[in-house]
Amino acid sequence: MSDTPQQAGIELGLHASIVSVHRNEPHVVCVTAPDDPKGRDSLPFGIFTPLAHRTLEIGLRNWVEEQTGLSLGYVEQLYTFGDRGRHAREGDRGPHMVSIGYLALTLQTDIAKKHVRQRRWYDFFPWEDWRHGRPQIIETLIEPLLLEWCEQTLDSTAREHPLGRTERIRFLFGLNGSIWDEEKVLDRYELLYEAGLLEEAAIDGRTAAKAWDVLPELGRPMNHDHRRILATAMSRMRGKLKYRPLVFELLPPIFTLYELQKVVEAISGSPLHKQNFRRLVEGGGFVEATGEMKKSTGGRPAKLFTFRRAALVERPSPNRHVSAPKST
Amino acid sequence: MSDTPQQAGIELGLHASIVSVHRNEPHVVCVTAPDDPKGRDSLPFGIFTPLAHRTLEIGLRNWVEEQTGLSLGYVEQLYTFGDRGRHAREGDRGPHMVSIGYLALTLQTDIAKKHVRQRRWYDFFPWEDWRHGRPQIIETLIEPLLLEWCEQTLDSTAREHPLGRTERIRFLFGLNGSIWDEEKVLDRYELLYEAGLLEEAAIDGRTAAKAWDVLPELGRPMNHDHRRILATAMSRMRGKLKYRPLVFELLPPIFTLYELQKVVEAISGSPLHKQNFRRLVEGGGFVEATGEMKKSTGGRPAKLFTFRRAALVERPSPNRHVSAPKST
DNA sequence: TACGGTAATGCTCAATGTGAGCATAAATAA
DNA sequence: TTATTTATGCTCACATTGAGCATTACCGTA
């Protein structure tokens, strides 16, 4: 591949957010470059080579298998990122990189590879875990920092977004009685990035001269724009969870309803009402009792269940109307 | 760009599905190559050039403006398609093409350019318009052809999909009491493509020797995989419509509720209950009465409304819980 | 064996949302 | 004036959802 500026070609990077849940914590598979002194995390990733890979997804699977030894099951494309300036590599000459992000779901597996490990979601996004109430960090750090940023740069380049900055902050972080929308993981990440509060932003040169030190409390950084891709994956999962039985990809074939609930809570980042959750799941026909019981629950034994594959067919998106309404 | 096989680079195509609604019909902007004898439709489209375009979206906007004269408002990325074999160009040497599809919404505009025109959605997808009941074509053509296909190729490469073929057909086309899911535009298109019933499939060589003639009743074909991109756009719009106020991008600033309803129906392809629709829209705080009336309705005059931009902030995704449930 | 701890499970209730249709109001055209 | 056409108001049944009470069944320990 030539480096001459006039022939700046394109490289398509394939990035995987491989998600699994163990001990009630959602994880993502990370790799670290052997020669990286800081050992910063990356998502498994490789360049799409049309000669070697018949489709993008096959390319992704191959790369992931090569780098992590994992053979992926459920895979879904997320988004294609092409901004220059973000995740610019050192020289910034050479081919331009466009990244396609993917979401992959897998059961927990022990990964027996060096430089490959699973990391907890909420290490990267501490403000996203509301399972035990609103995270402290929002009030103590995020809110004041964001509001400060608001005043500093008053509408210099403000008019990019339809909402005013303060409004946007309130809205996204559930301030002043605004409600928390768990799906907006990406939007919140982008807001923090824009505000220059994340290490990635500093690296990309967004933080300009205005160098407040980047705080380690604002989550573990990743290489390039990988944390953004993970945020996209989380947003997608939290959204899709509500109308598609995604979770079953993350569970062993047999499980109790409580285990199921804990996985859903882990992903969505918010606590659920136990009785109502069972009602929903059982009533929706997603699961089928095996007849067996699990004894080691700590209390009364729990029925064991299996996922009903048939539910995939029966579940349409909500709000269906079969016959046309008659009224004029 | 070299043609030598070992250096098969990648070209990123940017494709726009530009949607507008006039006279209760959803349209998409199409271009025809001046030298194409058949005058087949394409979506406005161009190659991403990192040197010229700072972001993918900017690239898209530039290309669209150049080709159609339109300056786009709302734009949203859809999906990135990379299959080889589909939309293979003549020689099939040369750089591999990966297509990024975009959805753009615009008010109706008269386009004063040669080789650019707006075409009706349902000319491309006749089976998707259920506004006046189930389209004939499903029973008379699609169902029998698909079932025939089912028997012909009984599980040769069948196990790609989790559902059996017959099940899949029933499910997607609402056969035998299955309900019609309006959002599955892409899935239905893909099924017809797989079955070799579409002209695009014949061109890509999917129809093998099994040459039943491709039927013009199965919708107007487009170049390459453009009809697939349009199907993706339709799916996305129909889905998003339900939880985001997309329609307002397609309406003039002032409108009656009935006009609004007709646009929603045009997009979703299904009839709505008038009174309930108003209840939803008014109750949801999406609109605001201007105080003016429209007289030329054909009956009683109708109140005129405006879109309330504030609704963007107030509307979270449904199913929100603010406080953690107390029950153990 | 009785007892307290811990979950699992069953059930009720109120509030809200949704599909469907009746009835009335206010224009226009015959 | 009357028929026609649309806009708009309102009701009702039913499904869905959030929340909490009550009961059951296992454990370990006194």
**pLDDT tens profile B128-161:** 999 999 999 999 999 999 999 888 766 555 555 6
pLDDT band at A303 (very low <50, low <70, confident <90, very high): very high
On whether both B25 and B116 belong to a single domain, the answer is: yes
Among candidates A255, A253, A252, which has minimal Cα distance to A304? A255
% of chain B at pLDDT higher than 90: 59
pLDDT at A5 over 50: no
CA distance B113 to A185: 42
**Pair A257, A302: CB distance under 8 Å:** yes
Runs of H (alpha helix) within B161-310:
165-173, 185-194, 199-203, 226-240, 257-268, 274-283
Does B9 contact A10 at a Cβ distance shorter than 8 Å?
A: yes
Least confident piece of the model among A28-32, B21-25, B310-314: B310-314
Q: Whole-number Å distance, CA A294 to C1' C10?
A: 19
Q: What pLDDT, on a 0 to 100 scale, did the predictor assign at position B206? A: 59
Q: What pLDDT, on a 0 to 100 scale, did the predictor assign at position A4? A: 39
**Pair B60, A62: CB distance under 8 Å:** no
Rounded average pLDDT over A276-287: 92
Rounded average pLDDT over A99-118: 90
On whether both B253 and B297 belong to a single domain, the answer is: yes
Q: Which residues in chain A have Cβ-Cβ distances shorter than 8 Å to B328?
A: 274
**Last residue within a domain, chosen from B88, B122, B156:** B122
Domain-embedded: residue A282: yes
Out of B10, B133, B328, closest to residue A12 by CB = B10
On whether both B134 and B104 belong to a single domain, the answer is: no
Q: What pLDDT, on a 0 to 100 scale, did the predictor assign at position B37? A: 79
Domain-embedded: residue A238: no
Does B56 contact A98 at a Cβ distance shorter than 8 Å?
A: yes
In angstroms, the Cα distances linking A320 to A101, A210, B171 are: 31, 52, 14
Out of B48, B83, B183, closest to residue A10 by CB = B48
On whether both A157 and A260 belong to a single domain, the answer is: no
Rounded average pLDDT over A293-302: 88
CA distance B247 to A279: 35
A279 touches strand D (CB under 7 A): yes
Domain-embedded: residue A235: no
Q: Show the tokens assigned to B281.
A: 């829209």
- Return the amino acid letter for A106: T
Q: What pLDDT, on a 0 to 100 scale, did the predictor assign at position A163? A: 62
Does B325 contact A273 at a Cβ distance shorter than 8 Å?
A: yes
Q: Could you tell me which chain B residue has the CA closest to the CA of A238?
A: B317
Distance from CA of A152 to the nearest CA of B (A): 24
Domain-embedded: residue B227: no
- Return the amino acid letter for B272: L
Rounded average pLDDT over B72-91: 77
B316 touches strand D (CB under 7 A): no
Q: What pLDDT, on a 0 to 100 scale, did the predictor assign at position A201? A: 85
**Last residue within a domain, chosen from B104, B122, B140:** B122
B25-32 and B116-120 as β-strands: parallel, antiparallel, unpaired? antiparallel
On whether both A200 and A176 belong to a single domain, the answer is: yes
DSSP annotation of B138: I
Least confident piece of the model among A57-66, A288-297, B4-13, B187-196: B4-13
On whether both B95 and B140 belong to a single domain, the answer is: no
pLDDT at A320 over 90: no
Among candidates A73, A95, A46, which has minimal Cα distance to B9? A95
Domain-embedded: residue B234: no
Mean of pLDDT over chain B: 85
Q: What pLDDT, on a 0 to 100 scale, did the predictor assign at position A114? A: 85
Does B270 contact A11 at a Cβ distance shorter than 8 Å?
A: no
**Pair B87, B108: CB distance under 8 Å:** no
- Return the amino acid letter for B88: A
Between the two ends of chain B, the Cα-to-Cα distance in Å is 66
B252 touches strand D (CB under 7 A): no
On whether both A133 and A79 belong to a single domain, the answer is: no
Residue A283 or residue A100, greater confidence: A100
pLDDT band at A155 (very low <50, low <70, confident <90, very high): low
How many helices (H) and strands (E) chain B has is answered by 11, 10
Q: Which nucleotide's C1' sits nearest to the alpha carbon of B258? A: D7
On whether both A163 and A99 belong to a single domain, the answer is: no
Least confident piece of the model among A14-28, B71-85, B134-148: B71-85
CATH assignment at residue B257: 1.10.10.10
Domain-embedded: residue B37: yes
Q: What pLDDT, on a 0 to 100 scale, did the predictor assign at position A167? A: 84
**Last residue within a domain, chosen from B122, B148, B171:** B122
CATH assignment at residue A88: 3.90.79.10
CA distance A17 to A105: 8
Domain-embedded: residue B3: no
% of chain A at pLDDT higher than 90: 59
Q: How would DSSP label each residue in A96-156?
A: EEEEEEEEEE--------TTEEEEEHHHH-GGG--BTBS-HHIIIIIHHHHHHHHHHTTTS
Q: What pLDDT, on a 0 to 100 scale, did the predictor assign at position A162? A: 56
In angstroms, the Cα distances linking B299 to B16, B216, B292 are: 39, 40, 16
On whether both B107 and B25 belong to a single domain, the answer is: yes
Which nucleotides on chain C have any atom < 7 A from a protein Cβ?
Answer: 5-12, 18-22, 25-28
CA distance B8 to B95: 5
pLDDT at B124 over 90: yes
Q: What pLDDT, on a 0 to 100 scale, did the predictor assign at position B191? A: 95
CA distance A90 to A87: 9
Rounded average pLDDT over B234-258: 93
Q: What pLDDT, on a 0 to 100 scale, did the predictor assign at position B292? A: 92
On whether both A147 and A101 belong to a single domain, the answer is: no
A1, A51, A190: best to mutate for the B interface, most B CBs within 10 A: A51
Q: Which residues pair with B119 in a beta bridge?
A: B28
pLDDT at B101 over 60: yes
Least confident piece of the model among B19-33, B36-50, B119-133: B36-50
CA dihedral over B162, B168, B172, B174, signed as positive or negative: negative
pLDDT at B322 over 50: no
Q: What pLDDT, on a 0 to 100 scale, did the predictor assign at position B318? A: 45
B289 touches strand D (CB under 7 A): no
Least confident piece of the model among A22-36, A49-63, A154-168, B124-138: A154-168
B165 backbone dihedrals φ, ψ, rounded to 5°: -60, -45
Among candidates B285, B318, B308, B316, which has minimal Cα distance to A173? B316
Residue A155 or residue B181, greater confidence: B181
Residue B20 or residue A243, greater confidence: B20
User: Residue B99 is part of which domain span?
Assistant: 9-122
Q: Which residues contact A214 (CB under 8 A, 6 or more apart)?
A: A197, A198, A199, A201, A202, A207
- Summarize pLDDT for B14-27 with one digit per residue, the tens: 999 999 999 999 99
Q: What pLDDT, on a 0 to 100 scale, did the predictor assign at position B58? A: 95
On whether both A191 and A263 belong to a single domain, the answer is: no
**Pair A239, A79: CB distance under 8 Å:** no
Among candidates A90, A91, A96, which has minimal Cα distance to A1? A96
Q: Whole-number Å distance, CA A282 to C1' C22?
A: 38
pLDDT at A141 over 70: yes
Question: B159 and chain A: CB distance < 8 Å anywhere?
Answer: no
3-state SS class at B233: helix
- Summarize pLDDT for A178-217 with one digit per residue, the tens: 889 999 999 999 999 999 899 888 776 655 444 456 678 8
Rounded average pLDDT over B177-200: 92
B84, B166, B175: best to mutate for the A interface, most A CBs within 10 A: B84
Which nucleotides on chain D have any atom < 7 A from a protein Cβ?
Answer: 4-11, 17-21, 24-27
Does A100 contact B80 at a Cβ distance shorter than 8 Å?
A: yes
Number of structural domains chain A divides into: 3
Domain-embedded: residue A246: no
Q: What pLDDT, on a 0 to 100 scale, did the predictor assign at position B1? A: 40
Q: What pLDDT, on a 0 to 100 scale, did the predictor assign at position B118? A: 95
